[in-house]
Amino acid sequence: MDRRLTKDHVRFRLNSRQVAVRPGPGERLSETLREALDQRDVKIGCNAGDCGACTVLVDGDPVCACLTATAQVEGQVVETLKGLVETEPLTKRLMESFQDLGAAQCGICTPGMMVSAVALLRINSTPSNSDIEDALGGVLCRCTGYRKIIEAVSRAGDGHIRPPVADGGVGSGIRRLDGERKVDGTENFGDDVAPPDALVLQLIRSPHARAGFEFGDLDAFVAEHEGVVAVLTAGDIPGSNRFGVIPDFVDQPVMAETEARFRGEAVAAVIGEPSAMRDFDQDTFPVEWHELPSVTSVTDARAEGAPQLHEDRADNIMCGGFVKTGDAAAALARADVRVEGNFRSGFVEHAYIEPEAGYAICRDGKVEIHACTQAPVMDLEAMEAILGQDRSHIRIVPTAAGGGFGSKLDLSVQPLIALGAIKTGRPVRIAYTRTESMQSTTKRHPSDIHLTIGATRDGRISGFKFDGDFNTGAYASWGPTVSNRVPVHASGPYRIDDYAARSTAIHTNCPPSGAFRGFGVPQSAIAQESLFDELAEKLGMDALEFRILNVLRDNTPTVCGQVFTQGVGIGACLEALRPAWQDEREAVSEFNRQAASEGSALRRGVGVAAGWYGCGNTSLPNPSTIKAGLRGDGTLVLHQGAMDIGQGANTVIAQIFAEAVGVPVHQIELLGGDTDITPDAGKTSASRQTFVSGNAARLSGQSMRRQILQLCNAKDTATLSLEEGRISVTSDEGTHTIDPSRLDRDDEGYVLTSVETWDPPTKPLDENGQGAPYAQFGYAAHLCVVEIDTALGTVVAKKFVAAHDVGRAINPMLVEGQVHGGIAQGLGMALMEEYIPGRTENLHDYLIPTFGDVPPIDTIIIEDPDEHGPYGAKGLGEHVLIPTAPAILNAIHSACGVRIRQVPATPSIVLAALKGKRDD
């Protein structure tokens, strides 16, 4: 041991080495491990013990490193995932089983999961599912829905590891190609890549929903604070202080100029040395706030005389959407039965476990931005405007994204760190705190929907009138998209000849509502699918058969007048639920009979709901470009620009490409979405990557294959193999061997390249929303069994059966992963999640599902191929949560006879409904 160690040093064993550090008083072990000891496999998700991502073992016991003072582990043994990978054989088994089962999606929670699992398996090699849930229950996951993790830990315990699937073509459920680094702690997320000399940036944010502000002497502030290097305000922005994602609605400032329009909006940034920023007290920043009257609900925002958020948007109305076909009023008037209702939902937070993070650096005449994102090229375009610089001076290097779900489509940290790096000439980093991530980034739109639906006695829909107000928050973000999508989708996947749907996006002094898995469709599906149940009940029809009777089929028009002659798989999804619908209802009746006779307060119910979602942009161009190259050494390189945010694009796009080329997927080298080397594969949004980028990958692969075959004039039926730098082309005419090293190389070292673009064919919508908004839809139907404690109002989901028409499952394991994760998020929205500014700004007041909240899920994959999809594939990412919440609400009604029309259906709300009174 080093003799120069002082009493200020803290000594402990970290994995297999002895370390000595000098932490500040009260420095968290998580910070010491990451910053002083380069142990960046320890992830920080909340800094409050709410997420468990930072779990390490101290003397064998799992603890949150963020709740442990470094000085407290003096003399103890600290183990992290990276260390366990080296020393603990159980970890190897977990690494295998996690990959085999898709138990790691984005991977940000995986170190916490694996470390907790090691602690469990050390004392219990055959844990039950409930043992696993108890042991891992302190770690949150937002991607997987937990079931695959439970199975992976169980399998690692019993040692039943299956051999990896070999070929990896379309249709095979291979492991994620980027899976190993997700499970061994080496994946680099937004906060894992900053160089040691990076300055740290912190933001000064509005404490009020609306406030004017004035700065004091900022130069004096910098001068007086040792270690503070610079302050940024709106005045430091060389280009336009506006960003946004929809061209006509670019309205959000990087930092507010004179007035903050929501709580948490940034007005200034302080940049300093890490040690200074660690101790920086934000109260010392010279800003004076003047709180102003604000509007935080749609009702307030529409009231006469309400404060206006944007001068050019009268009555706080940002925009609206409208779809009309037939005559809804007349059809409702002649309907034999009618149902109507008001439905409400609140803000929903994405709650990915990785807060926004990254760093920027000025290098080689460019500003490089290394950060987590869902849309690197959109980031690039927005940064051009903000910096007033051509894109040749900007480089976006995406890190792994620890979840996104829509919110990482928008800029967050990117302009701030870039401005900081330009101003200081040094690398500048930031990781949002959990609270600022929740305060400042986009949310799911709160909705206030009025819906009336009629039906004739024969069970056919007769008239559908939908009116929805959506709280779009302070800035536009993806609000216009939500407005457009909702009227197109509010019918659900049903034939409705007489239809009118209007949506309105209304500004409030709340965080911007933006993109969140489903873009408003989950909210409208709650209203439509709940009322479909009521209609069926009024008609005396079976709820599932009523849906099947009205469902869209091939050759029936959607409410936009779009007719698909093929690939409408919703009928098959609903029909696939029939056996479970029968069995589960029988089981539930028996359960309820038994419970009633025993005097138990428990009741069970079964509900179904369906959903659809148009893949890609609504009636707008939406191209993806995929580039590939063959190196002189025979390596086939795929420039994979479709951001993998956990869903598996790195694997799926590569599988499609490999299939098209005709080589095993594991022989392909992947490059990421770095904008200097990879063309634009569009944003990871709107369930478009498998569909749109997948098609570009297919074309790129086919082009590469053609070029290779042309080298030896081989027929298209020839088989290719890549071995030891040579390509063998075998056909009935014999085998040719190509030596790529003998071919000419371009500037990038490629002897062959294939760059292909695909854009889904759509047509514009007219003033009544008639047209062809999407080239394909995907379809889904969920069945849910719930158990309600009628004395306490608690609702527990017991089982899901989920049928999804994915056209063609490129990777069935990843399909299941999406289904599980979507259901978990839909369940959260239905039962527990509501973001309230100022009140639920952390992960212990804002509740997302934990282990034990997500029940077993049977996934039924329907493959009704789509003519436009690559190998028939359809998008899936959004579809997976659209039917979940209404299926749960319908199951609650089935269990106890109450209709819940607002989410989340917390115990308080459910019990009040059971007692037939309004919740006070």
Among 38, 217, 224, 279, binds other proteins (CB under 8 A): 279
- Contact at 8 Å (CB) between 206 and 267? yes
Which range, of 158-166, 440-448, 645-653, 912-920, touches other proteins by CB under 8 A? 912-920
- Give the number of other CB atoms < 10 A from CB of residue 763: 14
Of 783, 809, 810, 811, residue with least CA distance to 797:
783
593 binds other proteins (CB under 8 A): no
The least distance separating other proteins from the CB of residue 132, rounded to whole angstroms, comes to: 11
Q: How far apart are CA 876 and CA 778, in angstroms?
A: 7
Query: Residues 463, 793, 877, 886: which binds other proteins (CB under 8 A)?
Result: 793
Nearest CA to 360 out of 505, 232, 183, 479 is that of: 232
Q: Closest Cα to residue 778, out of 869, 674, 859?
A: 869
Binding region for other proteins (CB under 8 A) out of 18-26, 309-317, 480-488, 801-809: 18-26
Residues 91-120 binding other proteins (CB under 8 A) are: 116
Question: Cβ closer to other proteins: 87 or 282?
Answer: 282
Name which position in 519, 591, 774, 851 contacts other proteins (CB under 8 A): 851
Residue 281 interacts with other proteins (CB under 8 A)? yes
Element (H, E) at 275: helix 274-278
Note whether 148 and 813 are within 8 A (CB).
Answer: no
SS3 589: helix
Least distance (Å) between residue 622 CB and other proteins: 37
CB-based burial of residue 492 (10 Å sphere; 0-12 exposed, 13-18 middle, 19+ buried)? buried
Residue 736 forms beta bridges with which residues?
729
Cβ at position 818, least distance to other proteins in Å: 22
Within residues 58-87, the interface with other proteins by CB under 8 A covers 58, 61-64, 66-69, 71-72, 74
Shortest CA distance to 409 belongs to which of 689, 626, 613? 689
- Which tokens belong to 272? 């300093």
| Spatial distance between the Cα atoms of 191 and 188, rounded to a whole number of angstroms | 8
Smallest gap from residue 210 Cβ to other proteins (A): 22
Residue count (the chain): 920
Sole window of 47-55, 161-169, 560-568, 713-721 interacting with other proteins (rule: CB under 8 A): 47-55
Binding residue for other proteins, selected from 212, 227, 280, 561, defined by CB under 8 A: 280
Rounded to whole angstroms, what are the CA distances from 414 to 243, 420, 434, 794, 839?
11, 10, 17, 42, 27
- Site size toward other proteins, by CB under 8 A: 70
Select the residue interacting with other proteins from 217, 739, 766, 845 (CB under 8 A).
Answer: 845
Question: Could you tell me which of 692, 695, 630 has the C-alpha nearest to residue 656?
Answer: 695
Cβ 906 to other proteins, closest distance in Å? 6
45 or 611: whose CB is closer to other proteins? 45
d(CA 874, CA 774): 12
**Least distance (Å) from other proteins to the CB of residue 49?**
6
When binding is defined by CB under 8 A, the residue of 78, 135, 228, 668 that contacts other proteins is 135
Which residue, among 412, 379, 400, has the nearest Cα to 645 in the 3D structure?
Answer: 400
- Tell me which residues in 638-667 interact with other proteins (CB under 8 A): none
20 binding other proteins? (CB under 8 A): no
> Which CA distances in Å does 666 have to 107, 168, 635, 730?
21, 7, 11, 20
Site for other proteins contains 224 (CB under 8 A):
no
- Does 274 participate in binding other proteins (rule CB under 8 A)? no
CB closer to other proteins out of 41 and 133: 133
Pick one of 15, 881, 906, 913: the residue that binds other proteins (CB under 8 A): 906
Letters for 802-841 (x = contact with other proteins by CB under 8 A, - = none) are -----------------------------xx-x-x--xx-
Q: Do residues 537 and 543 lie in contact, with contact meaning Cβ atoms separated by under 8 Å?
A: yes
Is 222 among the residues that bind other proteins (CB under 8 A)?
Answer: no
Q: Which window, 46-54, 367-375, 423-431, 573-581, contacts other proteins (CB under 8 A)? A: 46-54
787 binds other proteins, rule: CB under 8 A: no
Q: Which is nearer to other proteins, 855 or 872 (CB)?
A: 855
Residue from 9, 11, 19, 24 in contact with other proteins (CB under 8 A): 24
> Which residue in the set 45, 52, 518, 634 belongs to the binding site for other proteins (CB under 8 A)?
52
Q: Which long-range contacts (CB under 8 A, 24 or more apart) does 458-461 make?
A: 459/536, 459/539, 459/541, 459/546, 459/549, 459/550, 460/549, 460/550, 461/494, 461/495, 461/496, 461/497, 461/535, 461/550
- Smallest distance from other proteins to CB 181, Å: 24
**Measured on CA atoms in the order 151, 156, 157, 159, is the torsion positive or negative?**
positive
Report the residue from 329, 330, 743, 792 that binds other proteins according to the rule CB under 8 A: 792
Long-range contacts of 22-25 (CB under 8 A, 24+ apart): 23/69, 23/70, 23/71, 24/275, 24/278, 24/279, 25/71
Which of 15, 39, 55, 655 touches other proteins (CB under 8 A)?
55
Query: Does 555 sit near other proteins (CB under 8 A)?
Result: no
Nearest C-alpha neighbor of 591 from the set 607, 604, 606, 608: 604
Instruction: For residue 148, give every residue at least 6 positions away whose Cβ sits within 8 Å of its Cβ, in sequence order, or none.
Output: 101, 102, 103, 816, 817, 820
690 within 8 A of 698, measured Cβ to Cβ: no
Instruction: Report the nearest approach of other proteins to the CB of residue 43 (Å).
Output: 14
Q: Which residue number, 364 or 920, has a Cβ lying nearer to other proteins?
A: 920
Residues 67, 88: Cα–Cα separation, whole Å: 25
User: For residue 221, which phi and psi values (nearest 5 degrees)?
Assistant: -60, -45
User: In what order do the strands lie in the sheet containing 228-232?
Assistant: 228-232, 266-272, 199-205, 428-431, 357-363, 366-371, 394-398
Sole binder of other proteins in the list 9, 92, 242, 278 (CB under 8 A): 278
In angstroms, what CA-CA distances link 300 with 304, 306, 555?
9, 7, 44
Stretch that binds other proteins, among 17-25, 306-314, 474-482, 676-684 (CB under 8 A): 17-25
**433 counts as binding other proteins under rule CB under 8 A:** yes
Q: Which is nearer to other proteins, 25 or 365 (CB)?
A: 25
Beta carbons of 430 and 357 less than 8 angstroms apart: yes
249 to each of 214, 310, 314, 478, how far by Cα in Å?
A: 27, 11, 14, 9
Q: Rule CB under 8 A: is residue 133 a binding residue for other proteins?
A: yes
42-50, 170-178, 304-312, 532-540 -> range binding other proteins (CB under 8 A): 42-50
- In whole angstroms, the minimum distance from the beta carbon of 727 to other proteins comes to 52
Of 583-591, 667-675, 722-730, 902-910, the window that binds other proteins (rule: CB under 8 A) is 902-910
Given 50, 498, 534, 878, the residue binding other proteins (CB under 8 A): 50
Rounded CA gap, 683 and 647, in Å? Answer: 13
Q: How far is the CB of 129 from other proteins (least distance, A)?
A: 12
Identify which range of 278-286, 554-562, 803-811, 818-826 contacts other proteins by CB under 8 A.
278-286
Kindly state the smallest distance separating residue 886's Cβ from other proteins, in Å.
19
Q: Give the number of other CB atoms < 10 A from CB of residue 917.
A: 9
Of the candidate spans 322-330, 440-448, 880-888, 899-907, the one that interacts with other proteins by CB under 8 A turns out to be 899-907
CB of 98 to other proteins, least distance (A): 19
Q: Which CB atom, from 553 or from 844, has the smaller least distance to other proteins?
A: 844
Binding region for other proteins (CB under 8 A): 8, 23-28, 47-50, 52, 55, 58, 61-64, 66-69, 71-72, 74, 116, 133-135, 137-140, 202, 278-282, 433, 599, 601, 791-794, 831-832, 834, 836, 839-840, 844-845, 847-853, 904, 906-908, 911-912, 915, 919-920
